[in-house]
Amino acid sequence: MKTGNAKGIVGFIGLGTMGCEMARNLLRAGYEVRAYDVRSEAVDSLVGLGAKPAASVEEAGRGADIVISMLPDTPQVEEIICGPDGLLAHPPAGRLIVDMSTISPGAVRRFHAALQEVGVSFLDAPVSGGPIGAKNATLSIMVGGDAEAFARAKPYFEAMGTTVTHVGEPGAGQAVKLCNQLVCGINIQAICEAIALGRACGVDLNQLRDVLLGGSAASWMLDKLGPAMIAGDAGAGFRIDLMLKDLRLVQEQAQMLSIPLPGTALVTSQYIEARAHGEGTNGNQALFRVYDRMTNQPRS
Ligand code: NAD
């Protein structure tokens, strides 16, 4: 727990593309960070920035005011909470756990109930803004869970993001994030279609983007990902594999609630096609390659 000049002790679990930047911002804000990841090189690089290494989930949480996780999917979060070395058996001293990954809202409600039984608060706090938002501490953070736990976690969120919103009960943060992902996926598809048509019409694609950004078709995706889509840069970015995981979570929720989402179903098929072509680790802007194939306009 908090000692000396330290602002607070954070156990941080999951130091990948997003987590390493978020943990770094907590360090910058003056928090002590105990870093854990199954990849020891990820821990080492954060230790180089001033974090303390943890050799296990239990060690990351020991004596911490709060534990924050940023992991790929529901099974990894389940493991660090319910596994033998998990936080259910070894709660942090501050009895507050925040998962910032994108996972199933139903699983969130299960984790919340199990942790509540042992007197530990749990928040779901997924994020939007990508690696750039993580690096610049400008993430949008959508939080589900108890108001009292949210108030305690808020200063930590403010070290990682600029828009921090308590959106409701446990699982509500994930519900909002799934709506966010649906909009992102379909928006990228719309941009791919505009590029495919604009290219066939022979218009200058950079000019096309500039014009659209000045009018009612403007979007974050067109602004941030448009240049890579026009240049044929499929590489870095939010991985297609992660997008497919999120679209699966969207569709699971929709099926459970009997909500038809035909736009999501269509764009999911296109991302599956991209993955079938070995593009799962490309950024999600690489959906343009599906349109390149459909229009027989392959780019190297
Ligand atoms: P990532 O794969 O780069 O990082 C995940 C990290 O978790 C890796 O370092 C991995 O080694 C570690 N890990 C896996 N299992 C573990 C375990 N059991 N214990 C400890 N560490 C473990 O993923 P990311 O891009 O940082 O995304 C993390 C989460 O954030 C995902 O749920 C993703 O959907 C969401 N997200 C990602 C982005 C993005 O642009 N990358 C944007 C918003 C939200």
**Distance from Cα 72 to the centre of ligand 1, integer Å:** 4
Output the pLDDT for position 5. 46
pLDDT at 298: 83
208 CA from centroid of ligand 1 (Å): 34
Nearest residue CA, atom 13 of ligand 1? Answer: 14
* pLDDT score for 6: 62
Show the tokens assigned to 220.
């974050």
Q: Identify the DSSP state of 54.
A: -
Q: At what angle do helices 205-213 and 172-201 cross, to 10 degrees?
A: 130
* Total-model pTM: 0.94
Tell me which of 17, 22, 44, 243 to substitute to probe ligand 1's pocket, judged by most ligand atoms within 8 Å of the beta carbon. Answer: 17
Go through the domains of the chain in sequence order and give each one's CATH number: 9-169 (3.40.50.720), 175-294 (1.10.1040.10)
Mean pLDDT, the chain cut into blocks of 10 residues (300 residues total): 69 97 98 98 96 97 97 97 95 97 97 98 96 96 98 98 98 98 98 97 98 98 96 91 97 97 98 97 96 90
Instruction: Compute the distance from residue 205 Cα to the ligand 1 centre, in Å.
Output: 33
pLDDT score recorded for residue 4: 45
* Tokens found for residue 84: 């033998």
80 lines ligand 1 (CB under 6 A): yes
Q: Give, using CA atoms, the residue closest to atom 44 of ligand 1.
A: 127
Active site residues: 177
CA-nearest of 124, 184, 126 to 160 is 126
pLDDT for position 236: 80
pLDDT at 1: 59
Residue with the smallest CA separation from ligand 1 atom 21 is: 37
| CA nearest ligand 1 atom 15, residue | 76
- Would you say the CB of residue 17 lies under 6 angstroms from ligand 1? yes
C-alpha torsion angle, residues 86, 89, 93, 96 (rounded to 10): 60
How far is ligand 1, taken at its centre, from the CA of residue 212, in Å? 33
Using CA atoms, how far apart are residues 192 and 181, in angstroms rounded to an integer? Answer: 17
Q: How many CB atoms lie within 10 A of CB 5?
A: 7
- Is 238 touching ligand 1 by the criterion CB < 6 Å? yes
Ligand 1 atom with the shortest distance to the CA of 73 = 32
Dihedral pair phi/psi, residue 144, rounded to 5°: -115, 145
CA of 240 to the centre of ligand 1 (A): 13
